[in-house]
Amino acid sequence: MIEWNKIDTILLDMDGTLLDLNFDNHFWQEFVPQKFSEKVGISIEAAKHQLEPRFKSMEGKIEWYCLDYWSEVLELDIPGLKAEIAGLISVLPHVIEFLEKVSTSSKKVILVTNAHRGSLGLKMEKTCLQRFFDEIISSHDFGIPKEQPGFWPSLQRKQPFDKERTLLVDDSLAVLNSAKQYGIRHLISVSKPDSTRPSKQIDGFQSIEDFRVLLQGLC
C-alpha cells in the first residue's frame, strides 16, 4: 500500500487513528449529556436534544476541540469529567507494533492532533505513546483546526516537511481533504476509528481498518 522508500515524514492523528474513538464518542454523546441533565434538572434525552445542535454548530472549528470553551458554555468541569472515565481510553489494535517499528526507522514521526492540550496530556498519561514521537503538535498551538487550510502552512513552518514525501494517517475525511488540497501526497484514512462500531465506507482515499497493512515493507 505504501512505498516506504518514498516517505520521510509520518503525520499521525490521535483520536480515531491511534486511540479508540469510543472514549470520545461515549464522553460527548452519553457522559456529558448525563452530567448536563443532572446539573439543569432535565432528562438525559432532553439534554441530548439541547446539546446536539450546539455541538454540531462547532464542528470544524477550534472551539469544538477546546475543553475550556465547553467548560465555560456548559458550566461543567470538562477536564475533570474526562478524568472520571479515563479508564475507557485505549490504543487501537496493532498501533503499538507499528509505532515501535517506525520509531526505530530514519523517518520523522509527528503526532498531529486537534485535541486540546488538556485532553492530550490525559491521553498520553494513560497510554504512554509520547515516547514514540519526534514532536507532538496540537492544532490549538496555532489556533486553527486541521480541517482548515491555514493549519498546514502553520505546521510546515514549525516542522518543515516535503509534501511529496509525507504520509498523513487520519480518520477524518475533512482533515484528509484539507491536507490533500495543501498538497500532501500520501493520505490514508482509518475506516474503524471506534472499536464498538462497524467499519465506515471510505470513498476518495486509501483506507485501513488497522495498522497491520502499514507494517508491510516497513523497515
Residue 1 has pLDDT above 90, yes or no: no
Give φ, ψ of 186 to 5 degrees.
Answer: -105, 115
Reduce the DSSP state of residue 11 to 3 states and report it.
Answer: strand
Task: Tell me the residue length of the chain.
Answer: 219
Q: Tell me which H or E stretch contains 108.
A: strand 108-113
Residue 219 has pLDDT above 80, yes or no: no
Chain mean pLDDT for the chain: 96
Q: Is the pLDDT of residue 218 over 90?
A: no
C-alpha 25/C-alpha 91 separation (Å) is: 15
In tens, the pLDDT along 82-128 reads 999 999 999 999 999 999 999 999 999 999 999 999 999 999 999 99
In the block, cell 516535503 appears at: 162
- Tens of pLDDT, residues 153-208: 999 999 999 999 999 999 999 999 999 999 999 999 999 999 999 999 999 999 99
In our burial notation (b when 16+ CB lie closer than 10 A, e otherwise), range 163-180 reads eeebbbbbbbbebbebbe
Residue 99's pLDDT is: 97
3-state secondary structure (DSSP) of residue 202: coil
